[in-house]
Each structure stands twice: as structure tokens, then as C-alpha cells.
Chain A
Amino acid sequence: MEPVPVRTFSLRKMFTGTGFFPFIVRRLLTAVLLILGITFIAFSVTQLVPGDPVAANLGQSAYSDPEIVAAFEKEFGLDQPVPIQYITYLGKLVQGDLGVSLSSKRPVAEDLREYFPATLEIAMFAVFVALVLGILLGTISAMTRDRLPDQIIRVFSLTGVSMPVFWTAITAFYIFFFVLGWAPGTGRLEPGAEPPPTVTGLFTIDALLNGDLSTSKEALSYLLLPALVLAVYALGVITRFTRASVLEILGNDYVRTARSKGLSEFTVIRRHVLRPALLSIITIAGVAFASLLAGSVLVENVFSWPGLGQYAYRSAVGLDLPGIMGVSMVVATVFILMNLLVDVLYRVIDPQMRDAG
């Protein structure tokens, strides 16, 4: 009888092994350390700013009243030494408590639950548009190198990466709302409209889940312009990178071999050009997503979009430390998850990396 191989659990292997699971475990452990580091840096930076959260959050009269100032400091723990404040924050963070916002006076976690889905909705749409159009336009540009389509696409992509996002937002709003009347205006829905019952926080999806097609369509119509504006920069970057990658790969022998074997141009591009190009495109897509989060502050402001960007701005202006920390945590987590996703996709796409572990 053949001996049956027995799989034994080895803690050491889990950290040092070359398989997929140890890889994920290692990355998640690193993520925890990264988040801890980010809390420390974010906390320290907010302490370095020569501002006073009490003055920023209390009115002129209240700030002059020592009793009111003392009550405010006690309520938000600002009367404690900074290291104690940090340790208290970490202690609460472990329990999932992000503290209470100085400006909204409610738990930061609740604030984030309200604002993050709005940003997620706009960012997801923007990433989708940027990726699909960026890869398409980048490929067309490379395939028509130095001809008219290439020139047009290059001008377009260069404009996308060069225009400041707030300017793009204001200009787009002026043209598509004010002049052409194509865009419905600012906000997520018509003024005073009842939002759909919350399931995901994404109005387009929640309305559909509620069987309310007209609200979903309305939400989509409000989403389009800010999302497209947000996508412009990422679209420019992805287009340029795709073009560069495709051009590099087009010069390889195996592409010439594929063509000489009589494969159709579409098959050559899909199988032998785009697939290897995807590695660098995925990397740049991660970077582009980061730029979306940064750009969302300005786009959300112009379009009165109640997302994380507006919340971050409000927290920063009001020196709302728990709010700033909460936003930092969310953004850091998104970045880490995006990086993890990119690494996982690398392993899926590139067999060499999969084998290397």
C-alpha cells in the first residue's frame, strides 16, 4: 500500500514558505505593522501643526470661557499628555473605536460609514473608465504610432495628466452643466430627494436593490460627470503607460513570430502583447487609484459630493484629530489592499513570479 501523504500545519512554513497562503499571511502581517506606523506618523504630524483644535472648533465667545474650554478638552481627551492620547487612541483602535469627531460630535466610524461609500462609488466608476478607455486608447496609440490617431491620443493623454483636477472639474461643470445642460448639477441626487435605503452606500446599487430604477438612473446621472473628471488624470497616465508598454513588446521576436505564423492581428495583440503589458499597467493602475483618492478632495468640493474628500478637508481645516486619523486609516487600508491586490494579480498573470514565490 502506498503511504498517504499527510499535510501537517507548520507555523514556520506559514511565514517562510513560498506558496500563495504564506505569501498572503506575510503581506497581511506587514500591513498591520504598516498601519501602526501610519497611525504614529499621522498622529505626530497633526501634533506638529502649530494649531489649536480647541480654538478651531469653538467660537469666539466660547473660546474665551475657561470653563467651556476645559469641558471641551476633557470631552475629547485633549487635556491628556500627547503620548497618553496616542496610547489611548491605539487602545481604542484595537477595539474598532476610531474616537469621536471634534466637528461632527459623533463616532468617526459612523462618519466614515456615511462618507466612504460616496467616494468609493465615484472612484470605482472612475477607475473602471480609466482602465477600459486607457488600455484601449493606449493600444490604439501604439498600433498607429506617429500617425494621426496616435498624435491625437497623445495630446489628449498629456492634457489629462497636465490639467489640475480642480480646473478640469470647474471647466467640465461649466460646459456640461451650465452651457450644454447635459449634467444635472451638484450632489448625489436631486435637491431634497430621499436617498435609497442603505445597503452598500452606493446609491446606484442600493436603488437597484430596492427595485427603484429611476433613482438608480438619477444617481448614475449625478455620478457621471464628477467620476469622469476624476478619471481624466488616471486615464492619461494609463493611456501613456499602455502605449509605452505595447510599443516595447511589439518589438520582441515572439511577436514577429506570432505574426509570421499567420495569427490575426487581434489575437497577436490580445495574447502576445497585452498580456505581458498588463504587468506594468496593473502597477500604474495602483498608482492611478492613489491619485484618484487625492483628487477626490477637489472634485468632491466642486460637485458638492459628500465623500471622504470633503470629510478629510473638513477634518483638516478644523484640526479634528480623530477625523484626520480616521481618514488616514481608511486611505492607508485602501492603499495596502490595492498593493496586495496588485501583487496577487502579478502572481496570477506572471507564472515566473508564481514559481518564485
Chain B
Amino acid sequence: MKHKLRAAAVAAASSALIVSGLAGTPATAAGNSLVVESVFQLTSTDPARSFEQTGNMINHALYETLVTYEGGDASKPVPAIASRWTYNSNATSFTFTIDPKAKFSDGTKVTSKDVVFSLNRLKNIKGNPSSLMDGITVRAIGSNKVRLTTDKPTPQLLAIVTSPALGIMNSKVVKACGGSDAANANVADKALDCLKKKSAGSGRYVLKSFNLTTEVVLDKNKKYWGGVNKDGYDKIVVRNVPVNVQRLNVIKGTSGIAADLSPDQAEGVGSKVNVIEGKASNVFFFYLSANPNFSAATKFTSNPKCVEAARYGINYNKIVRYAGLGAIQAPGIIPSFFSGALKQKDAIKTDSARAKKAFDACGIGDTPVSIGYWGDGGAVNGLNFGSLAALVEEDLRQVGFKIELDGAPIAVSLPLYRDNKEETGLWLWGPDWPDSTNYTESFSPGTKVGKRMGWLLGADDYITGLQEKAAVTVNPQKRAKLFTQWQKEMNKRSPLIPLVQPAAILVANKSVEGVRDHPIWKINLPEITKK
């Protein structure tokens, strides 16, 4: 018996050895290829249907827009498919001249027909990013010019045009895939599947393969009309990898870039990698519902004195410390790098005495009030919503509020927030387009987030007036002043309390150059080169 047992043990040990031998050495990014790891926020590589961060990053490499931004900048548009552009004095008509050299990856020349098709398709598909085309009409002026017109002054149009959703597609290829730009494109367009198999753009890369949960592979566009970047990678593999594994992979060298590390995780990554630190475009904020009719608590939260109590009771320094490396207090809802952003000196300073006085005047007393937030471990830029909510809860309890944490999975909590069914909430905002109007148009009374906070049109005519004035002002300096003023007034009179603008951290292998964080497409893949 002993002999048999020993034989069995030897067999088991041998199997283990074979197993370990098979595993071999770790895989590395083969040849001239780059592995970029991120937690996928991806639905497709169809520009008209994709509006998530990973999708933006990939589509920016596949599809060029009329104009774009360089590096990490999001303020100065530079030529892309359009070599030049003009607009009228009240910013209602923008004319773009298509670069005569511009060609799609199959060698077809980019024409005004392609631009009109792409933008109308985006508009009529009624998908996630379609609202970017709200109020915009596009028409061809000959074969090499297009004109985008709007009903009202839209100085932010150039910023909107840079969005990867407005990527220009080869209309012939997309139509052959079943694509349509007709008014009924939401039912007539059948190109989605096809566009997961091949791309139809003029970007520096073409799509090689697409998998929604694992990886998207891009090959260098060897016919790129702007001249092939010899230092660029031949292949880029964007992989869906959990954050903690991203960290190990980038340190080990099996990936080139880790896109989602938190400041804490980026510390101590060692000398083999570079940590690229920027400011995230996401701003975390807290709000108190201004809808007095929703619950017993919102009768009070809608009272400006309650908002004042919360605004001055929150310990912002503690939140910034929690957010870690590179984070700053958000002095306003507009991130630090956009026009008219407030300075740190304008930020609200914690004032416990003022908070307690306002709390007494508010009258909420012992009425319990809940905080809604993304509660199943949801985190962005390394900041966990649950932890942030706990910090806010602790501060507000010290002021006197009877706060209850009411986090829920995103599929449950997000609709409650969007439908104004929260007493208070802790959320973030990332820009749909890189311009401060995205904030004035989203947070003023009666706008998107305004309504979510129960702050309806007519609630504050002064702020609405500033919003409307900023929307039609073309002069950049005057616009910036209006944005600044709008935010200062928001800090005095709105139910919104900006909390923190975290750092955006990218960790890259030292052999990878040109890595910069961008507010819209996160990483500018076509600009990355090998050392």
C-alpha cells in the first residue's frame, strides 16, 4: 500500500512539474507592438454609437475629425481632416476646407460627401453621442468644403467637432456595411457589426480585431495620408484588465501603459516605469436636492441655509488628502484647465461655526437625510464613491445632519440620480466636449444636472442669465470672465458643492514616449512612439 501511495505522490509531483514547465516565461509585448491596459468602458468602435472613454481613445486613433487637439491640450484646435476653417462673427456658421491630401485607409479621397454622411449619420442614429449634433446642420459646399450652421451662436462648436464621435467615415464603405445617414437611421443603419470587424476612417491606425470584453487590436495604417510615423508602434493592443493586475503588468513589462491606476497605486511602482501625472477632467461633487416635494428631508435640503451648512461643513482638505497625489480641491465645477476655471484661492474654505449656524437656521433637526452614490465599489480616477460619501457623511454629522449612506449598484443608483429621486447625492461630471459651456449648459437651473438636483428653470434667473450670456459670447476673454462669474454665483446660490478634482495618472514603460492624459480620449494613441 505504501508503495502505491508513494507512486501516486510521485505522479502528482511530476504532473505539477510538467504544469509549471508548460507555463514557461511571461508573455511580453511582441515586436514593435504596444499593450495599453485599461478597465474597458466600451460598447463599439462605431463613432456614431460610442461615447465611452475607451471607445473615444480607440476611435481617436481610427477616425480623424475635422479638427483636433495635440498632446494633452484641449483648448487650441489644430488641423486634422480640415486644413483650415473660418466662422462668422456670431459663431453660427463654420466653414471647413478639407485637406486635399486627406485619404481614408483604403486610399479613397476624403470628400465633403463623407463629412456630411458621417455627421448626419451620427445625428440620425439617435445613439449615445447623437446629442452632440443638437442644433447643428451640416451641408457640403462643393466637394472639398462643408458648412456647419447653428440656430444660435455656438462658439464651442470647434470643441464639439474634435469629439471622436464626429469622426469622419468613408461613406462608401459604411454604406456597403449597411450604414445609413437617413432621418430613420436609428432603424435603417445596420453597420454596427461590420464596424466591429473593420474600420472606415483616415486615422493613423486601422482596426484589426475587436472583442468587447478582452482586447481591441489596431494595426498601423500604412497608407496614412499625413505620412507614416516611423517611430509609432506597428500594432497597439488595448486590453481590458483589472486595475490591480494593470499595476503588476506594467511593472513587470508585459504591458506598455496602465491607464487606470490610482495615485496610491502609482506610488512605489519602481524605476522601470514613468508616472505621468495630470489633472483629471472629472470633478466629484455633492448636492442637496432642491425639490421640496420629494421627501420629508428635501423640504429642508431645498432650503439654501441647509446647503450653506453643508457647503461650509465639509472638510475639503481631508477629501483632497484622501484623493492623494496630484488632487486639488475643486473650487468650481469647471476643471482647472478649461476657460474661466476658478483659482484655488476662490475655493470654499471650511467654516464649522458658519456651518452650524446655517444648520440651526435650516431647521432640518433630526430628520434623517440620505446620500445617494455609486455604491458597489464604484471608483473613478482611483477615488471610491463609497469612501468619499463616508467622508462627507462624517463631516455633515459633525454639523448636525442625521446622514444615512444610501449607495447602490450603478444600474440602480444612476437612474435615481438622473430622475431626481435622491435627497442628496455624490457624483462626478466628465466633459462631453472640452469647453466650459458643457458645464454652464449642464448645471444651470433647468438643465440636465440642474433638473437632477431638482433645480428647475426659474429657480435662479441671475445664474440662468449668465449661462445664456456665456453661450452666445464669442470673444474668448469675455467668455472666460462669464464662466468665472457663473461659477462664483453657483458657489453662493446653487445646491451644488464641488468637492475634488483628482489627478489623472498614467504609468508607462520607459520605452514608451509621448504619453499624455487627455480629457476626452484619455491617451492620444497615434502620438505615442517607441524610444
Using a CB–CB distance below 8 Å, which chain A residues touch chain B? 49-56, 58-65, 67-68, 71, 75, 103-106, 115, 133, 136, 140, 143-144, 149, 170, 173-174, 176-178, 181-188, 190-192, 217, 220-221, 224-225, 228, 265-266, 269, 301-302, 304, 306, 310-311, 314, 316-319
Question: Can you list, as one digit per residue, whether each of B483-495 has a CB less than 8 Å from chain A (1) or not (0)?
Answer: 0000000000000
Q: Decide if B409 is an interface residue (CB 8 Å cutoff).
A: yes
Question: Cβ of B126 and Cβ of A71 under 8 Å apart?
Answer: yes
Restricting to B412-466, which residues have a CB under 8 Å from any CB of A?
412, 414-416, 418-419, 432, 448
CB distance B237 to A191 under 8 Å?
A: yes
Instruction: From A51, A140, A170, A173, name the one whose CB has the most chain B CB atoms within 10 angstroms.
Output: A51
Contact partner, B240, options A170, A304, A317, A319, Cβ 8 Å = A304
| In the complex with contacts A192-B217, A224-B23, A49-B412 CB distance below 8 A | yes
Closest chain-B Cβ to A308's Cβ sits at a distance in Å of 11
B415 touches A51 (CB 8 A): yes
- A104–B196 alpha-carbon span in the complex (Å): 11
What B residues does A115 contact at CB under 8 A?
Answer: 213
CA distance A19 to B27 in the complex (A): 54
A316 vs B49: C-alpha distance when bound (angstroms):
21
Per-residue CB contact flags for chain B residues 223-258 toward chain A (1 = under 8 Å, else 0) read 000000000000101011110110011011011000
With both chains docked as a complex, state the minimum distance between the C-beta of A319 and any C-beta of chain B, in angstroms: 4
**Contact call A67/B1, Cβ cutoff below 8 A:** no
B195 → A minimal CB distance (Å)? 11
Closest 9 CB pairs of A and B: A52-B415, A265-B1, A55-B415, A51-B411, A192-B237, A61-B131, A56-B411, A306-B214, A59-B128
A253, chain B: closest CB distance, angstroms: 20
B20 in contact (CB, < 8 A): yes
Q: Is A187 a contact partner of B8 (Cβ separation < 8 A)? A: no
Given A62-B130, A224-B19, A306-B213: A184 and B239 within 8 A (CB)?
Answer: no
In the bound complex, residues from chain B placing their C-beta under 8 Å from that of A103 are: 43, 212
CB neighbours of A178 from chain B (8 A): 248, 251-252
Known interface pairs A49-B411, A304-B245; 8 further A-B residue pairs with C-beta atoms within 8 A, sorted by A's residue number: A64-B418, A67-B126, A104-B43, A104-B212, A105-B192, A106-B192, A187-B214, A317-B410
Say which residue of B5, B237, B249, B411 sits within 8 Å of A317 (CB atoms).
Answer: B411
Our pick among A53, A176, A190, A221 for the contact of B22 (Cβ within 8 Å) is: A221
- Please state if B4 and A265 are interface contacts (CB–CB under 8 Å): yes
Enumerate chain B residues within 8 angstroms of A133, measured Cβ to Cβ: 12
Chain A residues lying within 8 Å of B30, measured Cβ to Cβ, are 190-192
Distance in angstroms from B165 CB to nearest chain A CB is 10
Q: Nearest Cβ distance between residue A3 and chain B, in whole angstroms? A: 55
Which residues of the partner chain A approach B192 to less than 8 Å between Cβ atoms? 105-106
Q: Are B412 and A51 in contact (CB under 8 A)?
A: yes
Tell me whether chain A's interface is mostly helix, strand or loop, or mixed: helix
CB atoms of B410 and A56 under 8 A apart: yes
Q: Say whether A183 contacts B23, CB under 8 Å.
A: yes
Which applies to chain B's interface (DSSP): helix, strand, loop or mixed? mixed
Contact assessment for B411 and A143 in the assembled complex, using a CB-CB cutoff below 8 Å: no
Most B CB contacts (10 A, CB to CB) among A53, A105, A301 go to: A105
Q: Whose C-beta in chain A lies nearest to the C-beta of B132?
A: A61
Q: Which chain B residues lie closer than 8 Å to A173 at the CB level?
A: 245, 248
Question: Which chain B positions have C-beta within 8 A of A54?
Answer: 415
B23: chain A residues at CB < 8 Å are: 176, 182-184, 221, 224-225
Contacts of B25 in A (CB 8 A): 181, 184
Complexed CA–CA distance, A54 and B415 (Å)? 9
Task: Please tell me which one of the listed residues A64, A106, A269, A304 contacts residue B239 in the complex, with CB atoms under 8 A apart.
Answer: A304
Q: Do the beta carbons of A191 and B24 come within 8 Å of each other?
A: no
Task: Please indicate the chain B residues that have their CB under 8 angstroms from the CB of A225 in the complex.
Answer: 23
Q: Which of A55, A64, A170, A191 contacts B414 (CB 8 A)?
A: A55
B135 CB → nearest A CB, Å: 12
Docked complex: B31-74 residues within 8 A CB-CB of A: 33, 35, 43-44, 49, 51-52
Residues on B with beta carbons closer than 8 Å to the beta carbon of A59: 51-52, 128-129
- Say yes or no: A177 contacts B410, CB within 8 Å: no
- By the criterion CB–CB under 8 Å, are B8 and A136 in contact? yes
User: Is the CB–CB distance between B214 and A302 below 8 Å?
Assistant: no
Complex: how many Å from CA A178 to CA B129? 40
List, in ascending order, chain B residues with CB within 8 A of A304's CB. 214, 239-242, 245
CA gap between A144 and B24 in the complex, in Å: 35
B108 at the interface (CB under 8 A from A): no
A-B contact pairs, 21 of them (CB 8 A): A52-B415, A55-B414, A56-B410, A60-B432, A71-B126, A182-B24, A183-B23, A184-B24, A185-B27, A185-B249, A186-B239, A188-B214, A191-B215, A192-B208, A192-B217, A220-B22, A265-B1, A265-B4, A269-B1, A302-B242, A310-B213
**What CA separation (Å) do A158 and B240 show in the bound complex?**
33
Residues of A contacting B19 in the complex (Cβ-Cβ under 8 angstroms): 224, 228
In chain B, what residue has the closest Cβ to A314?
Answer: B213
Which chain B residues border A51 with CB–CB below 8 Å?
409, 411-412, 415
User: Are A55 and B418 in contact, with the CB atoms below 8 A?
Assistant: yes
Decide if B511 is an interface residue (CB 8 Å cutoff): no
Known: A56-B411, A58-B128. A177 touches B26 (CB 8 A): yes
The interface residues of chain A lying within 8 Å CB-to-CB of B217 are 192
Whether B75 is near chain A, meaning CB under 8 Å from some CB there, is no
Residues of B within 8 A of A265 (CB): 1, 4
Q: Are A143 and B215 in contact (CB under 8 A)?
A: no
Docked-complex contact A190 and B27, CB < 8 angstroms: yes
B127: Cβ under 8 A from any A Cβ = yes
B248 touches A177 (CB 8 A): yes
Q: Which single residue of chain B is at the shortest CB-CB distance from A193?
A: B30
Say if the beta carbon of B186 comes within 8 Å of chain A. yes
Q: Is B214's CB under 8 angstroms from A185's CB?
A: no
Q: Is the CB of B211 closer than 8 A to any CB of chain A?
A: yes
User: CB-CB < 8 A to B20: which residues of A?
Assistant: 182
Complex: how many Å from CA A311 to CA B25? 29
Query: Cα distance A177–B241 when bound, in Å?
Result: 15
B4 near A62 (CB under 8 angstroms)? Answer: no
Complex Cα distance, B273 from A147, in Å, reads: 50
Residue among B187, B241, B432 making CB contact with A186, cutoff 8 Å: B241
Is the CB–CB distance between B127 and A68 below 8 Å?
yes
Per-residue interface assignment for chain B, residues 262 to 297, with 1 indicating a CB less than 8 Å from any chain A CB and 0 otherwise: 000000000000000000000000000000000000
Question: Contacts of B128 on A, CB cut-off 8 Å?
Answer: 58-59, 61-62, 68
Q: How far is the CA of A174 from the CA of B252 in the complex (A)?
A: 11
Roughly how many angstroms separate A63 CA and B43 CA in the complex, as a whole number? 16
Q: Which residues of A contact B132 (CB under 8 A)?
A: 61
Minimal beta-carbon separation of B95 from chain A (angstroms): 26
CA–CA, A323 and B172, complex, Å: 33
Task: Please determine whether B215 and A187 come into contact, CB atoms closer than 8 angstroms.
Answer: yes
Interface residues of B in 141-168 (CB under 8 A from A): none
* Nearest neighbor of B216 in chain A, beta-carbon distance: A192
How far does the alpha carbon of A44 sit from the alpha carbon of B19 in the complex, in Å?
45
Inside 8 A of A104's CB, which chain B residues have their CB? Answer: 43, 212
| C-alpha gap A302/B213 in the complex (Å) | 13
Contact status B1-A266, CB under 8 Å: yes
- Report how far A175 CA is from B131 CA in the complex, Å: 48
Most chain B C-beta atoms within 10 Å of own C-beta, residue among A61, A184, A225: A61
- Using A56-B415, A265-B1 as known contacts, say yes or no to A170 and B29 having CB atoms under 8 A apart: no
Report the bound CA distance from A190 to B25 in whole Å: 12
Q: Chain B residues near A310 (CB, 8 Å)?
A: 213
- Are B129 and A191 neighbours in the complex by a CB distance under 8 Å? no
**Complex interface: chain A residues within 8 A of B24 (CB):** 182, 184, 221
Contact: A68 with B126, CB < 8 Å? yes
Interface pair A143/B5, CB less than 8 Å apart: yes
Whether, in the assembled complex, B346 has its beta carbon less than 8 Å from a beta carbon of chain A, the answer is no
> How far does the alpha carbon of A256 sit from the alpha carbon of B397 in the complex, in Å?
72
B9 — which chain A residues lie within 8 A by C-beta? 140
- The interface residues of chain A lying within 8 Å CB-to-CB of B404 are none
CB of B193 within 8 Å of the partner chain: yes
Taken together as a complex, chains A and B put the C-alpha atoms of A318 and B213 apart, in Å, by 14
Point out the residue from B4, B29, B187, B448 that lies within 8 Å of A266, measured CB to CB. Answer: B4
The chain A residue with its CB closest to the CB of B131 is: A61
